[in-house]
Structure 1
Amino acid sequence: MNLFVEAWNYLSDTANWGGPTGIEHRVLQHLWYSFLTVALSAVIAVPIGLIIGHTRRGSAVMVGFANAMRALPTLGLLTFLVLGLGLGLIPPLLALITVGIPPLLAGAYAGIANVPADVVDASRAMGMTERQILFRVEVPNALPVLLNGLRSATLQVVATATIAAYVNLGGLGRYIFDGIGLYRYDLVLVGALLVAALALVLDGLLAVAVWASAPGTGRLARAGTDPRISVVAE
């Protein structure tokens, strides 16, 4: 119980929030690492998922690839990358994308692949090109699933980005690793609580985005969709 009291005292002390080692700065660092990782993962995973979902080719390879990435031990991979590339931001980013790519890849593929076939066939019958079908019909209808993939990737990356502190970078992992090294387990708890709080806030924001993106509800304007095609995704 004293551990929680000490953690609360640390969090409630305004002196611990400002400065280059303060909580505010550590939160911003953690968000930055997470944003870079999710953005890089999306650049790699989303186009591949869209293409495979649209063409229905290569799904078995994609599943195997995603499962293989999930099986990689992130901290062990980070250690290996540091030995090969040295310290810096690149090794943790490369290690973290193994966490971010699988849910984004699965979300993009599943979203496109589950668009009703009659909608796609109707689009082709109206003379739409494959590119138009993908971006004007399939992507808008698949948006909730795509965003769910982003939501899952964001949560996993935020939770795992603490490993950046393992290679002397910042972020909320700094409290965890420094706390362990100093036997200050109240700091470890502070780091864990802040990571959990950050993940919950981001999850709530993305949950609203998923809710708003449901096709047929009018909650989110979907620019570029064909008005002749309307699908209620249920």
Structure 2
Amino acid sequence: MTDTMLAAETEGGGSWLSAIADWTVSLMDTIGPVGAAIAVGMDNLFPPIPSEVVLPMAGLAASRGSFTLAEAILWTTFGSVFGAYILYVLGRWLGAERLRRIADRMPLVTGDDVVRSVAWFEKHGSIAVFFGRMVPLFRSLISIPAGVARMHWWKFGLLTTAGSLIWNSIFVMAGFLLGENWHVVEQYAEIFQTVVIVVVVVAVVWFVIARVRSALRSRAADDGDAGGAERSGTA
């Protein structure tokens, strides 16, 4: 697939996404569809590696006869589920109580935040896991709270498999149908990921500002109470 790699570099302008695409092609060139599973599994463990680029390359390889389209979809889905389970186990190992103690030692967050988050996940976790598999960044991170909340392993696996199968099939098919024009997917994938990152950054900034304001109000109230108590004692 040397010509494919050269096309990727030319069309992608040498971007970091094109570099990932080149690496993915080399991996699949060497070990076949198992390479696609490894690449997608790493996407789960290292969110900066976008599956929106890795998956179309698996479809491209299938279109060139390196392996079948069914193999591309099945192996990439296996990689997604396997990577998700690693983070799920990490979440179960951490546990809600351990996270609560850690949160109590951190600025701007408290153990109550962890308790509320776990309670929310226990109520809406199924939807979060299923649709979370289709959102960049959250696709990986959603596995950790599932483990913390101790979602049944079979339920987590079923929802993860279903969400991953839908997401992977869309992008693998896009790569299969577009062939050498797979870079069209790359352009939209980069925009999609950028939008998600911007939304996350805005949410984090809003959270920090809200917590700082709350801390300042609490401190002002405590100072007022202390001053009132001191004047009362003097009188």
Q: Scaled by the length of structure 2, what TM-score is found?
A: 0.30
Q: Identify, as 1 or 2, the structure richer in helix.
A: 2
Q: Scaled by the length of structure 1, what TM-score is found?
A: 0.30
- Whose Rg is larger? 2
